[in-house]
Chains A and B, each alone.
Chain A
Amino acid sequence: MKPAQEKALRALARNRSRPELKALFALIRQQDDRTLLAIAAPAKKRTAAKRKGDPLVRELEQTLKPLMGPAQEKADLLIEHIAKKHRRKLAFQPKGLAEATRQLRTKFSDDQISAGAKSLMSHLAKLYGDRETVV
């Protein structure tokens, strides 16, 4: 046995009497590694990763998902639609939905922005969302 292994064994035996150690060795011999590890070193309980980012941005991304195109175009459409809906002049030129949300929040509430995205999608669906039909 190597010195490091002897040291590990002595750490295990610390404060235990000889009969206790004999019972422990017998127990270890009877069980497999998986059982022993599950008891001696249980895996840490995985907690769900906390989602990063703005929930409103995530919601807008999901709402505008059926729309094909880069995020910048989606953001432009959203701003144009909200401006028209609320009869406001908005000179925002965001690079994406996160920046659009930040800029829109300076003038509108989260509910208004969210409702604007939904209303944009229903407006676009009327214009471009028809399906092929047969007569």
Chain B
Amino acid sequence: MAITAYLAFEPADEDAARSVGAELERHGWSVTLSSPELRTQEKLNALVQRVGESGVVVLIASRAALESAWLQREVVAALNNGRPLIIVQTDDLPADSWIYSTLDTTGLIDLRSGARSEVLGQIVERARAANGRGRVIAMLNIKGGVGKTVLAANLFAAAHLADKRSVSFIDLDPQHNLTQYFLSPGERNRVRDRNHSIYGILNPRGDASVPLSDIGGVAIPLNRASRGAKQPNFELIAGDERLFEFTLDTRSDRDKAEAFTRFRALIAALRARSDAVIIDSNPCATFLTRLAITTADHIVAPVRPEKYSLTGLNMLEHVVREVRGRALRPNEFSVLLNGVNDRTRSGETGDADTLTRNEISGAPFFGSALLPDEVPYSAVLKSAPSDRLAANPINVTAMMRVGGRPAKESLARAAAAILRRAGQ
């Protein structure tokens, strides 16, 4: 099936838009053009849906476009749905325009001297690169304690070790448990002193800010095995407790807008080199959750076999709908049952595993998102004992520990299923 490119433009730029659209179609893309039919208040939801379902959004930027409220809505829908934006300039734009101040214009394509074939080819190439890169997967559940962090680390360590997948983690939780899981306190302090954490990336200014050009270089390698052929990358953008500043009202809207642009730049850098970019989110609905939702191609919601997890799942669907302006499609979402066959549970009436499984699979929306592979309760998924140390962080994951074969097998199967559903 052809991947759709959405072309956002004003009627004044129709000729340029049609040239771009024809070139994309010639290279196998299906093209949706901005149209007056969708640009009405009554059809706003359908417009957001159309933009959100596209593989890439091409923005034809001109003076007419700067004045258009509808074009801004289309750009917002693209940003909120994590769609890659390709900006094609057909006119001289003032430096203080909203396009320069809110979007990343470093890769802007210049079409001012006409729709020449090499420029059109550049657009096609950019669209192909934007769509063919790694997938962004957010581990998300509004309920805490369902296993987001431990599953993020272990599922994708299994994908890395069993299927040679390259994986980049982003710890977007102020509690930074994923960073704690992989790195010792001493190493975390060194990372913080060098300012190589997500806090430095989101911070637009000040001593703690990482320059935009260095964003891709702050990742910490997690597989440091020195022997053998070059390994696919397995890396972490470390978390930082100072991230809490972005969850309170202490940061200005301008800071948050810049943080959003910088986060998108980080995602673009990581997507270019990894099969999967995994965002470990905080268990609530904050600005950080918004960052995760707006950039994710796929959301994985771990659920424990107990009733409160289901509340978190329902809340998650509402939050995502609110942020993206449209409902989740089942193929954008996976529900993973975590901690089944837990023999340490006692005093419970009924079979919690079966009850939860039936509840989710019977639900109209979540039923089709429930993965058949479940992760059993296992000692190998517990964090490493404090009296042991790991010079190579991947060694703390279940796949590198002794025992727990059923858990390891189900982790590898579930990771493969998630990557398949995410389109990787």
- Which chain B residues lie closer than 8 Å to A72 at the CB level? 227
Q: Is the CB of A93 within 8 A of B227?
A: yes
Q: Which of B180, B186, B391 contacts A69 (CB 8 A)?
A: B391
B180: A residues at CB distance < 8 A: 132
Q: Is the CB of B384 within 8 A of A68?
A: yes
Which one of B27-35, B301-309, B392-400 contacts A?
A: B392-400
Q: Are B226 and A68 in contact (CB under 8 A)?
A: no
Contact of B400 (CB < 8 Å), options: A70, A76, A129, A132: A70
Contact between A67 and B388, CB atoms less than 8 A apart: yes
Q: Is the CB of B186 within 8 A of A128?
A: yes
Interface residues in B176-213 (C-beta closer than 8 Å to A): 180, 184-187, 189
Q: With A66-B388, A69-B392 in contact, do A127 and B186 touch (Cβ < 8 Å)?
A: yes
* Chain B count of residues within 8 A CB distance of the other chain: 21
A124 CA / B225 CA spacing, docked (Å): 16
The answer to whether B118 has its CB under 8 Å from any CB of chain A is no
Q: For the complex, is B390 an interface residue (Cβ under 8 Å from A)?
A: yes
Residues facing B in A43-75 (CB within 8 A) are 66-70, 72-73
- With A76-B226, A76-B227, A132-B185 given, is the CB distance from A127 to B391 under 8 Å? yes
Per the bound structure, the CA–CA distance linking A90 and B220 in Å amounts to 28
Residue A128 contacts which of B184, B225, B227, B400 (CB distance < 8 angstroms)? B184
A69 lies within 8 A of B227 (CB):
no
Closest to B386 in A: A131
Residues of B within 8 A of A132 (CB): 180, 185, 386
Partner of A131, one of B185, B189, B384, B401: B185
Whether B186 and A77, one on each chain, are in contact in the complex, defined by CB atoms closer than 8 angstroms, is no
Instruction: Let me know if B388 and A68 touch, CB within 8 A.
Output: yes
By beta carbon, the residue of chain B nearest A74 is: B391
* Chain A 62-105 per-residue mask, 1 if CB under 8 angstroms from chain B, else 0: 00001111101100110010000000000001000000000000
Rounded to whole Å, the gap between the CB of A73 and the closest CB of chain B is: 6
The answer for the CA separation of A124 and B187 in the assembled complex, in Å, is 11
Bound form: Cα–Cα A93–B387 in Å: 28
Q: Are A124 and B386 in contact (CB under 8 A)?
A: no
| Nearest CB in chain B: distance from A132 CB, A | 6
Task: Give the complex CA separation of A6 and B421 in angstroms.
Answer: 80
Query: Which residues of the other chain, A, contact B187 by a CB distance below 8 angstroms?
Result: 127-128
Measured CB to CB, the closest approach of chain A to B92, in angstroms, equals 55
The answer to whether B389 has its CB under 8 Å from any CB of chain A is yes
Q: Which of B388, B389, B400 has the most CB of A within 10 A?
A: B389
Interface string of B223-235 (1 = CB under 8 A from A): 0011100000000
Whether A21 is near chain B, meaning CB under 8 Å from some CB there, is: no
- In the complex, the answer to whether A125 meets B185 with C-beta atoms within 8 Å is no
| CB of A130 within 8 Å of the partner chain | yes
Give A125 to B227 CA distance when docked, in angstroms. 23
Instruction: Give the CA-CA distance A125 to B186 in the complex, in Å.
Output: 10
Output the nearest chain A residue to B188 by Cβ-Cβ distance. Answer: A130
Q: CB-CB < 8 A to A109: which residues of B?
A: none
Q: What B residues does A131 contact at CB under 8 A?
A: 185, 386
| Contact of A68 with B389 at beta-carbon distance under 8 Å, contacts A130-B186, A133-B185 already known | yes
Closest Cβ of chain A: how far from B241's Cβ, in Å? Answer: 11
Given contacts A67-B388, A68-B384, contact A73 B185 (CB under 8 A): no
A68-B384, A68-B396, A69-B395 given; A129·B227 CB < 8 A: no
Known A130-B184, A130-B185; contact A73-B386, beta-carbon cutoff 8 A: no
Q: Are B390 and A67 in contact (CB under 8 A)?
A: yes
Chain B's closest residue to A123 (CB) is B391
Does the CB pair B395–A129 fall under 8 Å?
no
Contact between B225 and A73, CB atoms less than 8 A apart: yes
Complex Cα distance A132/B184, Å?
9
> Pick the contact of B389 from A70, A80, A93, A125 — CB < 8 Å?
A125
Is B185 a contact of A66 with CB atoms below 8 Å?
Answer: no
- Contact A128-B390, Cβ < 8 Å, known A68-B384, A69-B395, A69-B400: yes
Bound-state CA distance A93–B227 (Å) is 8
Query: In the complex, what's the smallest C-beta–C-beta distance from B400 to chain A, in angstroms?
Result: 7
Chain A residues, Cβ within 8 Å of B389: 66-68, 124-125, 128-129
**Chain B CB within 10 Å, residue with most, of A70, A73, A93, A125:** A73
8 additional contacts (CB under 8 A) given A77-B391, A129-B389, A132-B386: A67-B389, A68-B388, A68-B389, A69-B391, A127-B184, A129-B186, A132-B180, A133-B185
Q: Please, could you name 7 A-B residue pairs with CB atoms under 8 Å apart, sorted by A?
A: A67-B390, A68-B390, A68-B395, A73-B391, A76-B227, A93-B227, A128-B389
